[in-house]
Structure 1
Amino acid sequence: MERVGVRCDVGPGRGIGHVMRCLALAEELLRRGLEVVFVCDAHTVPWAEAQIAARGIAVQPAAWTPAEHTELIARLRLDAVVFDSYDLDAAVYSAVRATGVPTLAIVDGDFRGADADVLVDQNLAAELDRPRLPANSTRLAGLTYVMIRDEILALRPLEPPAPRPVAVPKVFAFFGGTDAFGAGPYVVQALAATGVPFEATVVAPRPELADQIGAVELGPQQGVDVIGPTDQLAATVREADLTISASGTSTWELLCLGATAGLVCVVDNQVMGYERAVATGTAAGVGVLSNLKTDPSAAAAVLKRLLTDPAERARLAAAGWELVDGNGRIRVADALLAIT
């Protein structure tokens, strides 16, 4: 196996979660001397496009039909295909498998028609589920297979974080490369409603979100700095006392970093991961975005405790650090390369 194609979703409405976890696997394949080609509309999210380019990975426009995929495989001489998509028709997967090229599909609970030699569900407690598998498929499930990027692994602490009492906690909040559901302003409202001091850095990928965040009325010793998408995400997380994010792909990166994570469920397909992470005590549940939009008081109560209790922050951080070891991408790459 020499050249692997990665077909993943990306876009202003789709976010960049698929790209981020595919990049983690791509980094592992590159480390082993393989060539990787992404097949996606990366140009629709310039920050994601830059992340792919920074790794020297070529990009082809997204293919959608079975015929487009089989043509692409032949033209690029692909030896394997990785899928990470919520939008592809089931016929695409069966057409690609019929070519005999090894396939791996990354899924989140519902297969959404995905049919591949290996199915990877890297979500918490996914190993407890018993879905019906496509014929001749293998399923890798659970946090054992979480794929973490180099940027995160480089800053993973060697031991669980200790309590860090501070007078004014630092907060970092981000919701993917696009914040497609506009969570940032509502989280800042909930932070302000705590009535306690904090210094927050909030990522606003769009000007209208930055304006909405800037309009939130803050209390004494409360500050908010609005920035655009950053290449220093891991370093910023490490510096923060509390990181607030959507309960998607980034959750596992936060846990690997030993961050105190406050999660917001921004869309329905995150519900299962959100509930499981909160139930295990590895992250705090800030709430469901639709509820934050109507009443931030419940979220404010959760955030106030996190801002004022360094022991609780350390407990959450240590539990998450123990749960995600950062070696999942090695296991997934091993499975892909073992397909015959």
Structure 2
Amino acid sequence: MSAAALPARILVRADAGPELGGGHIMRCLALAASLKARGASIAFACAPGSSDLVPALSRSGFAVMTARSAADFDLPPAWGGQADAILVDLYTSTRADESRMRQIAPVIAVLEDLPDRVHDCDLLGDQGFDRQPADYADRVPPGATLLLGPDMTPLRPDFARLRSASLARRLASPGLSRLLVSMGMTDVGGISAQIVALARKSLPDITIDVILGPLAPSLPGLLQAAENDPKFHILVDVDRMAECVMAADLAIGAGGGSALERCVLGVPSLVIVLAENQRPAARAMAAAGAALMIETPQALADALPALLRHVSPPQLAQMSASAARLCDGRGAERIATALLARIARPPTPANA
């Protein structure tokens, strides 16, 4: 087989953790699947414990190598110590780390959330609302490919596939009979249990679905509470997330990538900001009319009951239409195509 016919070898460097959550790995899995569909060979390098927090990583079939630090990690033995590209999705990595990675891969790609770091990369994706190339002036090398805005969010293909059906259902029968609570697999601070308690008291007749990871601190108590309640469902380590989100009339979630999953399907959101990097997206969704927003977890007890009791079918219909305009769910396809194109080009030199 000629060298040109060999599949591109792409190493994904991403972690999950109790405070970090699993969103970085989940969006990388979506992008990895799109790259694999285009013929690439994919492996992950993750900090110990990442697969325990995100079981979907183990189920993916991709090799999972050990990462000891941002730029110190193993490669699959069959790759001979070299990759064609490294995709970095870390808050802890630095420009120096990315430069070190060039010793084993000529192309470096980065997934970023906020334009406040300098990178040595050939491609950068940032799903932030209203993000502009000027935001990365002097923060990436000249000639680096920039893929910016919500339509560059790497999501699993099921979201785009179910988009039309989900939007049609909401247009036909707006109303609030089913609530989804999905605060992330790690359920930071056990916030899911707090939300469920407030929601069940505010809307006692509604059906509630709660999505959690297997190590979520809220899980034991919620499982016990759901034992004798046919309208209360606990879903652990969900493999068909798009279908679960589509079933909801309103979703309560954080302001990360899952918020844009809901937008693709036109699901109105009540967004709770769990970390500062989520605040710009949450505010943008609220300003666009796609979501209601609670600024901090500490505001839950006062804000959530009133919001739930006063949301109306016309408001849900308006939020659904606004949400659907924000993201179409095809970001993984766009990034995968651009990354494979960069692999075929010479690398971008680092800034002086």
**TM-score w.r.t. length of structure 1:** 0.85
8 Å contact from structure 1 (residues 144, 324) kept in 2: yes
Q: Which residue number corresponds to residue 146 of structure 2?
A: 139
What is the letter of the counterpart of residue 250 of structure 2? L
The answer as to 2:132 corresponding to 1:124 is no
Gap change, CA 1:249 and 1:207, over 3 Å in 2: closer
The answer as to 2:173 corresponding to 1:164 is yes
What is the letter of the counterpart of residue 323 of structure 1? L
**After the TM superposition, which residues 142-157 of structure 1 pair with which residues of structure 2 at under 5 Å, given as runs?**
142-157=149-164
What is the letter of the counterpart of residue 162 of structure 1? L
In 1, Cα distance between the equivalents of 2:79 and 2:36? 21
The answer as to 2:323 corresponding to 1:320 is yes
Q: Which residue number corresponds to residue 109 of structure 2?
A: 104
Gap change, CA 1:280 and 1:101, over 3 Å in 2: same
In 1, Cα distance between the equivalents of 2:180 and 2:104? 46
Q: Determine which of 32, 52, 58 is the counterpart of 1:46.
A: 52
8 Å contact from structure 2 (residues 82, 105) kept in 1: no
8 Å contact from structure 2 (residues 211, 234) kept in 1: yes
8 Å contact from structure 2 (residues 86, 105) kept in 1: no
The answer as to 2:219 corresponding to 1:210 is yes
The answer as to 2:86 corresponding to 1:78 is no
Per-residue CA shift, 1:9-41, capped at 9, x if unaligned? Answer: 212222110011111111111111111111113
In 1, Cα distance between the equivalents of 2:181 and 2:198? 12
Deviation at 1:175, TM superposition (A): 1.2
Detail structure 1 runs of 4+ shifted over 6 Å in the superposition: 69-74
8 Å contact from structure 1 (residues 6, 37) kept in 2: yes
Gap change, CA 1:228 and 1:327, over 3 Å in 2: closer
The alignment partner of 1:338 has SS state of: helix
Deviation at 1:322, TM superposition (A): 2.4
In 1, Cα distance between the equivalents of 2:115 and 2:185? 24
Per-residue CA shift, 1:114-141, capped at 9, x if unaligned? Answer: 4311111112222386233222233221
Q: Which residue number corresponds to residue 272 of structure 1?
A: 280
CA-based RMSD of the aligned residues comes to: 2.9
Q: Which residue number corresponds to residue 93 of structure 2?
A: 88
What is the letter of the counterpart of residue 150 of structure 1? P
8 Å contact from structure 2 (residues 187, 216) kept in 1: no
What is the letter of the counterpart of residue 298 of structure 1? A
The answer as to 2:259 corresponding to 1:251 is yes
8 Å contact from structure 2 (residues 21, 185) kept in 1: yes
Gap change, CA 1:22 and 1:111, over 3 Å in 2: farther
8 Å contact from structure 1 (residues 192, 222) kept in 2: no
Deviation at 1:250, TM superposition (A): 0.5
In 1, Cα distance between the equivalents of 2:173 and 2:108? 45
What is the letter of the counterpart of residue 142 of structure 1? G
Q: How many residues align?
A: 329
8 Å contact from structure 2 (residues 12, 87) kept in 1: yes
In 2, Cα distance between the equivalents of 1:42 and 1:278? 37
**After the TM superposition, which residues 176-187 of structure 1 pair with which residues of structure 2 at under 5 Å, given as runs?**
176-187=184-195
